[in-house]
Amino acid sequence: MFSGSFVALVTPFKDNFDIDYDAYGRLIDLQLENGTHGIVPCGCTGEAATLTHEEQKKLIAFAIDRIAGRVPVVAGTGSNNTAETLGLTQYAKDAGADGALMITPYYNKPTEAGVIAHYTTVAEEVGLPVMLYNVPGRTQLKMEPDTIAKLNEHPLIVSVKEACGSVDQVSQIRQRCDINIMSGDDPLTLPMMSVGASGVVSVAANILPGLVANLCNAFHAGDLAKAQELHYDLLPINKALFAETNPMPVKKILAEMGLIQDVLRLPLTSMLQEKYDGIKSVVQGYGLV
C-alpha cells in the first residue's frame, strides 16, 4: 500500500492570499526530484481548514496533473461532517487520486459508532482507498486501536496516519490488525517504523525531502545504522518545525529558501521573527538558508 516518505505539502499563497500555483508546481517538482514517495495535498500542513471547497478541488487536480502518475497522490478530503467529506472524496477519486486522507470529524465529538459510520459511509459510497488521520491534538478526538481495527475490516479503509505521538499506539494497532500505518509525527518516524509503520506523512519533507526519503529507504533496505544516523540528523529540524503552530515555521523556512512567500491565511499568521531567530542556527546547519 503506501510506503516511504509522503510529503504533507504546504499551500503557497500570494500577498493577496490567492493560491500561488506557480510556486505550488515548483514545490511538487522539488519533491519528485528528491525521491519523495508520495504527495499529500490539502492536509493540515496545507491549511485545508482555510481553503474553500473549490480551491481544495483545484489544488488536488493540479497536483494530480503535475505528478502525472509518478508517485501516489493521497488527497486531503476530510471534514467535520460526512456530506462534505463525501463530496470532496468523490471529486478526488474522479480526478485520479490514489487515496484520500480523512481527518477524524472535529468539534462534533462523535462516538465510536459515529466515527465508524462516517468512514465506512464514505468508503462505501465513493470507493476510494481511505487513509484515516488520527490527530487528537487538533481534533480532541482519539481513535483507539480497537476502533481502527474495526474500521480496517472494510476493504477500502486501508491505512492510518498516526499522529498521537505514541509508539505504543502503533504497537497496539499492529497487534490488532495489519492496516498500513504511516507516522504522522516526524520525530517518531523511525521508532514507529520499527514496530510496524511503513513510512511517514512528513512536514520536514517540505524542506528536506531527500533526507526524509533516504531515512525510509534505508530502513526498508535493512540498513538500520543508516536509518538511525538520518533519524538523529533530522531531530533538530523536526523539533524546530514545531517552535510555533505548524505550518508557520515550515512556511517561514520555505520563504527564506526563496521557494514561496511567507503568507498564511488567518487565523494563522507568519512566524514571529523572535521565534524564527531562535531556530535560525538550526536551519542554517542544514544549509537551507
Catalytic residues: 133, 161
Give the three cell numbers for residue 164.
498521537
Residue 289 has what DSSP assignment?
-
Residue of 235, 230, 204, 237 whose CA lies nearest to 216: 230
Q: Tell me if residue 37 falls in helix, strand or coil.
A: coil
Q: How far apart are CA 270 and CA 251, in angstroms?
A: 8
Q: Directed axis angle between helix 224-240 and helix 273-285, to 10°?
A: 160
Cα 13 to Cα 22, 24, 200, 263: the distances in Å are: 10, 9, 25, 6
Residue of 230, 136, 155, 154 whose CA lies nearest to 190: 230
| SS3 letters across 83-127 | HHHHHHHHHHHHHCCCEEEEECCCCCCCCHHHHHHHHHHHHHHHC
Task: Write the single-letter amino acid at 128.
Answer: L
| Cα torsion 78, 80, 81, 82: sign | positive
Residue of 191, 186, 198 whose CA lies nearest to 237: 186
